[in-house]
A and B are shown apart, each in its own frame.
Chain A
Amino acid sequence: MIELPSLTAAEFRRLCDFLYRRTGIAVADNKRYYVERRVRDRMIATGTTSFAAYFVGLRGNADGEIEKFVNSFTVNETYFYREDQMLRCLSTELLHRAIAAKAGTGPLRIWSIPCSSGEEPYSIAIWLLENWPQVDDYDIEIVGSDIDTRILEEARSGIYGPRALMRLSPQVIAKYFEPLAEDRWRLIADLRQSVQFSQANVIEAAETRPHGRFDVIFCRNMLIYFDDASRRVAAENLYECLMPGGYICLSQTESMSRISPLFEVCRFADAVVYRRPIAGGHG
């Protein structure tokens, strides 16, 4: 068994620069060991025996290596209350600010795109009911959208296995889910009806525009897979679907700045999020 070399500091930085430029993923210094392991896995998978050789293939995106590397790097499993510090940021910081910025009196609108099998939008609903004191004071509309119609059907059904529920307390599960079978639970009807699901491709303005404007958008672990041109268009479409003063939330390791200076960066105790400027914007 060949011992694969660990990355030198310079190689690690070079890889991080490339990741940041190409995908917007910003790797923290304390993640170095984690990254090294992913690189080792990919080197084995691609049959390369030096970092330099692997990096040539990664740079050239041989056999779609960039997506494979990013896939191995990001946690793709979806479950309820994933990255709950973002949910905490929503209820403690974002909502009251978005409300203050709103001109009209319409409902608070929150968009989860891509919503996949629904864990994220349903998590938002449950979290707000459990953690936002003003949840009864406002009309809240939660929309989940995805390009994949099959996954939307799954989302609408609201049926989940134990791994999806692993972060939820027994009390929350008992309150919002009904046991269906040995390893299956179903969200109660009220919760299932609290999220509206729709098909949308974030790159197509004709599909995003009809959704109207939102106060908060969750768009996590999707933009990192796009190339430059698609990211630009997606950023514009998302901007257009945000209220002035509204927020867009990416996942913790993603950087919106890689994509577009359309948004302002806002740092809160729990998360870094991005905001559509209220008036004028960058001139």
Chain B
Amino acid sequence: MADAVRKRILIVDDASLVRLYYRSALEGAGFAIDEALNGLEALEKLLVASPDLLLVDVNMPKMDGFSFLKALRRQEGRASSTPALVMSTEAAPQDREAARAAGANFYLVKPVPQDILVDCAAMLCGLPR
């Protein structure tokens, strides 16, 4: 991807190694990456940046993934409608439903293989594949 059209992804996850894992896969595929370690930090970062996609872990301290998404979707401004890919350890249908209700666009169960992550990210950023 040329610099000018590089899609930017904000990874929101408490675990540094998970963020590193996603970053290495996504940077390898040409995305630009930013990180936040919980929902509150993500909201603050979104005040000054507009990524093309959010990767959001469900279980984080201070503000979990669902609370973050609900707070984000309630806001005004461009960032509030950023597509969000939610990652969770829970695989039951009601968890997917809860994620959608909170404002997720897509839902993956952890641990997520790198190739699936890259394909989903490309799709949600509107890139041809």
List A residues at the B interface (Cβ < 8 Å): 10, 13-14, 17, 20-21, 26, 255, 257-258, 261, 265, 267, 272
A21 to B44, CA, bound (A): 14
Q: Indicate whether A257 sits within 8 Å of B62 (C-beta atoms), given known contacts A26-B44, A272-B44.
A: yes
Residues 31-54 of B at the A interface (beta carbon under 8 Å): 35, 37, 40-41, 43-44, 47-48
Task: List 29 A-B pairs, Cβ < 8 Å.
Answer: A10-B20, A13-B16, A13-B35, A14-B16, A17-B16, A17-B37, A20-B37, A20-B41, A21-B37, A26-B41, A255-B40, A255-B41, A255-B44, A257-B40, A257-B43, A257-B44, A257-B63, A258-B40, A258-B41, A258-B62, A261-B40, A261-B62, A261-B63, A265-B43, A265-B44, A265-B47, A267-B48, A272-B44, A272-B47
A21 to B62, CA, bound (A): 11
Residues 8-48 of B at the A interface (beta carbon under 8 Å): 16, 20, 35, 37, 40-41, 43-44, 47-48
Looking at chain A's contact residues, is the secondary structure mostly helix, strand, loop, or mixed? helix
List B residues at the A interface (Cβ < 8 Å): 16, 20, 35, 37, 40-41, 43-44, 47-48, 62-63
A261 to B67, CA, bound (A): 12
A267 to B63, CA, bound (A): 19
Look across to chain B and name the residue whose beta carbon is closest to the beta carbon of A28: B48
Residues of the B chain whose Cβ atoms lie less than 8 Å from the Cβ of A258: 40-41, 62
A258 to B43, CA, bound (A): 12
A265 to B75, CA, bound (A): 11
Known: A265-B43, A272-B44. 8 other contacts (CB 8 A): A17-B16, A17-B37, A20-B37, A257-B43, A257-B62, A258-B41, A261-B63, A265-B44
Residues of the A chain whose Cβ atoms lie less than 8 Å from the Cβ of B35: 13
Look across to chain B and name the residue whose beta carbon is closest to the beta carbon of A29: B34
A272 to B40, CA, bound (A): 14
A106 to B41, CA, bound (A): 36
Residues of the B chain whose Cβ atoms lie less than 8 Å from the Cβ of A26: 41, 44
- The residue among A17, A26, A272 with the most chain B CB atoms within 10 A of its own CB is A17
A192 CB, min distance to chain B CBs, angstroms: 38
